[in-house]
Amino acid sequence: MARTRGGAPRSSAPYLFLTPAIVLFLLFLAVPIGYTVHLALRRTRVSGLGLGKGSRREVFVGLDNLRAAVADGELWAGWLRVLGYGALVLVVMLGLALLFALLLDSAYVRLARFSRIAIFLPYAVPGVVASLLWGFLYLPSLTPIGGIDFLSASAVTYSMANVAVWGGTGFNMLVLYTNLRAIPRSYYEAARMDGASELAIALRVKIPMLVPAIILTTVFSIIATIQVFTEPTTLRPFSNTISSTWSPLMKVYRDAFVTGDLYSAAATSLVIAAVSLVLSFGFLRVVRGRAFGESR
């Protein structure tokens, strides 16, 4: 058993407890990322007619695949679609989550437990199942709302956003509501003694103290929106207005499993990861900068 500088024995128990997590991290995160980088820097070179032995070989091409991914207009068209989709989802989903959390935390709420379960329940439905359910409801022959083609080119983005909002509002509401319950009740009592209404308490006490939780849910929602895949892929058989490259992640899937170009798919995956990091850390930087400026 190793000893510390003071001569006390150093226990190896912490390392034993960390071993499973380290092994899982290496197998399911570090190794796949490393292999993706490996593929992104390579390309299959074909010599002759590509029929003889050794006519196909993998060669190192450096950053060529990444340059091609960045210059791909199809990828950036997908980013524009996801940007519009994300603007809808983030505003509506987080707005509803905050509204429901504030209502459930109100002193005058009734049936709070039933309401929490009812709002959270859609999150428990798998994304594929939810998309299929909404997909059938969007069909003109089955929809209860007549006169609207929910899967038309002008409405399909809103239809997909509706699926995401329906499924994600409950989770974000629960995160915000849990943080609200952690706020000492004495703050609310002091505000009521000063004559503040429930609306004033929500706007001037609860929401300012929820800012860290709101930032957390926003960052998670940004990352999930960038990686949107389930909704457009599941709804695609219902409509011809959703292309196979509607979102960046769908393009990765097409390149890897339809056209068989693993190298392009790997390079595009790295571009998506880079954009995700830039947007997430950029949002955190802006929020921290404003918070720091207000604190000064």
Question: Tell me: the pLDDT tens digits for 176-226?
Answer: 999 999 989 888 889 888 888 888 999 999 999 999 999 999 999 999 999
Give the per-residue pLDDT at 284: 86
Please state which CATH class domain 66-295 belongs to: mainly alpha
d(CA 122, CA 9): 52
Q: What pLDDT shows up at residue 70?
A: 93
How far from chain centre, in Å, is Cα 120? 18
On the question of pLDDT at 295 being above 70, the answer is: no
Q: Where are the alpha helices (DSSP H) in the chain?
A: 13-25, 31-40, 64-70, 73-104, 112-124, 127-138, 156-181, 185-193, 198-201, 207-209, 211-226, 230-235, 248-253, 262-295
How far apart are alpha carbons 121 and 115 in whole angstroms? 10
Give CA–CA dist 53/33, Å, rounded: 31
The whole model's pTM is what? 0.85
More confident residue, 198 or 48: 198
How confident is the model at residue 89, as a pLDDT? 96
Half-sphere exposure of 231 (CA within 13 A, CB side): 27
What average pLDDT does this structure show over 232-237? 94
pLDDT for 2 beyond 60:
no
Question: With bands split at pLDDT 50, 70 and 90, how would you rate the model's confidence at 24?
Answer: very high
pLDDT in tens, 110-145: 888 899 999 999 999 999 999 999 999 999 888 888
CA 39 remoteness from chain centre: 25
Residue 53: pLDDT over 80:
no
pLDDT band at 291 (very low <50, low <70, confident <90, very high): low
**In 3D, which of 83, 89, 69 has the Cα closest to residue 251?**
69
For the cut 90, the answer to whether the pLDDT of residue 52 exceeds it is: no
For CATH 1.10.3720.10, the residue range(s) in the chain are: 66-295
> Is the Cβ–Cβ distance between 90 and 169 less than 8 Å?
no
Bridge partner list, 3:
9
